[in-house]
Structure 1
Amino acid sequence: MFDQVVFAGGGGRCTWQIGFWESIANEISLSPKVVTAVSAGGLMSSLVLMGKTEEAREHFWTAFETNEKNAYWGNLFGKEPVFPQYGIYRNAMLELFRDGLETLQQGAELRIAVVHPPKGLSGGLAFGVGAMAYYADKHFLRSLHPKIAQRLGFKQQFYRARDCSSIEELVDLILCSSCTPPFTPRLKLRGRTALDGGVVDNIPVAGLDNGKGRVLVLLTRRYDQFPDIFTQRKGDQDWTYVQPSKPPFISVWDYTNPELAQKTYELGCADGREFLQKQVSEEEVSNEQFQ
């Protein structure tokens, strides 16, 4: 039904994508040839394609249960990190991806976006400028696909997960796609400064193949100017966007609340069932028109 799928970024909100996928995948025989993803969407898409979503929920929920705070300010002048998210995120992927790389390499071509800043702009300054451009587009202009960061010279580049030769390399790629200091360290990919792939566009459609087909775009935030499900014609393709029916319960960097993570997952499941119902209704109407 859909030839390609897009996983938007959004940290903890991406949990919604797992619930949605699990509700619809078998019902519509969802088996895309290409998947593009960014940031935590890279994690979720990897888990989906590896078939490890249930194991992942158990792992993360347990980690969240034992993590008391999202910031340990008492560590500010010590050796332990102030923000625990990076360590939890990295260790979870190293654990969950075991025995999954071969499955990932043999399935859909997963392309993960990383942003590289313009020359002369690196480190914290690069992320600060990129973040301001992104938030101006998303929160003030409410753009689906921002343009400001790209015009400033930030480049969104896609890397194929199947080219990773080890689990560690795949983990590093997703971490670079999620690089948002101070929650993560400053990172480099192949010698180049890496920033969260969503700095240019949090909905990584630039990695899609051209040509006829249908694309499913899984958002993680609410865009109130659009309905929950809407389709736009892009060249020879139909892009069907699906957004959460209400704001996801968990926030981007909340690693303390398994209950809100579970509710976000359940919202995705419910929205997936609603999506299926609408698909059935549309098919019935279409069939009646041709009888």
Structure 2
Amino acid sequence: MFDAVAFAGGGNRCYWQGGFWEAAAPLLGLKPEMVVGVSAGAWSACYSLLGLGRKVNEMVAEGCSLGRRNFEWRAWRSEGSPWPVSLMYRSLIEAIIDENSLGRLKQGPNILIGLARKPRRLPLSIAVPLGIATYQIEKKWRSPVHPKGGRALGFRPEFVRVQDLASPAELSAALMASASVPPFMPVGRIGGMAALDGGLVDNVPTEPLLPVEEQGGRTLVILSRLYRAYPTVKGRTYIQPSQPVPIGQFDITNPAGIRKAYEMGLRDGESFAKGVAAHSL
């Protein structure tokens, strides 16, 4: 059906993707040869391929039910950051990704995790806020599916291949780096260099899909928010939520929103699969 699939970033909104995959994948028989993800979309890709979408969603909802706030001064002393989401996210990944999980992922499709490298001539202290500001301004002003501001500043994409990773710790580090949005999430280090959220280059990572599409393959891009229009690319299908996903990107206070995101994904995934099936008749 689709030869390659991309999971866009979007923080907590990406739990919609988990529900979408759980519903659509079996109905469509999705068995892509390549899966690429960026930021929280990379995490969605991994747990979805493991068939753990519902389990992960419930773990997150339970974690968001503990009464913690999005910003806590006391967490700075005990956890190293006043934003508890950072440690919660790392702990979640480490609870799911063990040797067995990594082995299963390696036996599946080629999995690529998108990172961003900072502009060569800018120090990290300037590159990070400049990149984030540019992304936010472009998103609010033009709302493109594929922003160009990050590349114009000199941010460079890089993709980590899960099959090349030697341990669960390396996969955890890659997933954390792919979601590195200071100050909420710490700066990652991959290959001895600073690694940032791949969304600083493109929050919808389709660059690895191009060779597949050029060879006549079909690709699916799973977004996490609504856009006014999609680019037209031969062989590529974009899918977005049917309505805004009701959860903030880094919000750890809304368990109902986490669950609703997943349930929305289930409904949208089933609807999409039925639409594809009807169209192919």
Give the shorter-chain TM-score range: over 0.9
Q: How does 1:1-291 map to 2 (within 5 A)?
A: 1-75=1-75, 78-80=77-79, 81-98=81-98, 99-208=100-209, 210=211, 211-223=215-227, 225-226=228-229, 232-234=232-234, 238-284=235-281
Task: Tell whether the 8 Å contact from 1:231 to 1:239 is kept in structure 2 after alignment.
Answer: no
Displacement of 1:233 after TM fit? 2.7
Which deviates more from structure 2 when the two are superposed, residues 63-72 or residues 173-182? 63-72
The alignment partner of 1:61 has SS state of: helix
The aligned amino acid for 1:94 is E
Displacement of 1:131 after TM fit? 1.0
Provide closer, same or farther for how the CA distance between residues 146 and 55 of structure 1 changes in structure 2, counting only shifts above 3 A.
same
CA distance in 1, matches of 2:269, 2:189: 36
Computing the radius of gyration from Cα coordinates, the structure with the larger value is 1
Question: What's the TM-score, normalizing by structure 1?
Answer: 0.90
Displacement of 1:134 after TM fit? 1.3
Displacement of 1:194 after TM fit? 1.2
CA distance in 2, matches of 1:186, 1:26: 36
- 1:75-100 CA-to-partner distances (Å, cap 9, x unmatched) read 56x44431101101111111111220
* CA RMSD between the two structures: 1.6
> Equivalent pairs: percent with the same residue?
36
Unaligned runs of 5+ in 1: 285-291
- 1:53-73 CA-to-partner distances (Å, cap 9, x unmatched) read 222123212211114211113
Displacement of 1:48 after TM fit? 1.1
Displacement of 1:74 after TM fit? 4.7
Task: Tell whether the 8 Å contact from 1:50 to 1:101 is kept in structure 2 after alignment.
Answer: no
Task: Tell whether the 8 Å contact from 2:145 to 2:231 is kept in structure 1 after alignment.
Answer: no
- 1:153-174 CA-to-partner distances (Å, cap 9, x unmatched) read 1101111011110001000001
- 1:73-132 CA-to-partner distances (Å, cap 9, x unmatched) read 3556x4443110110111111111122000000101110110001113232321111112
Task: Tell whether the 8 Å contact from 1:123 to 1:186 is kept in structure 2 after alignment.
Answer: no
Unaligned runs of 5+ in 2: none
The aligned amino acid for 1:280 is A
Task: Tell whether the 8 Å contact from 1:124 to 1:181 is kept in structure 2 after alignment.
Answer: no
- 1:234-281 CA-to-partner distances (Å, cap 9, x unmatched) read 4xxx11000011110111001222111111111111111221232233
The aligned amino acid for 2:38 is V
CA distance in 2, matches of 1:117, 1:186: 11
Q: Following TM superposition, where does structure 1 have runs of at least 4 consecutive aligned residues deviating by more than 3 angstroms? A: 73-76
Displacement of 1:52 after TM fit? 1.9
Displacement of 1:143 after TM fit? 0.9
CA distance in 1, matches of 2:147, 2:238: 16
The alignment partner of 2:65 has SS state of: helix
Equivalenced residues, count? 276
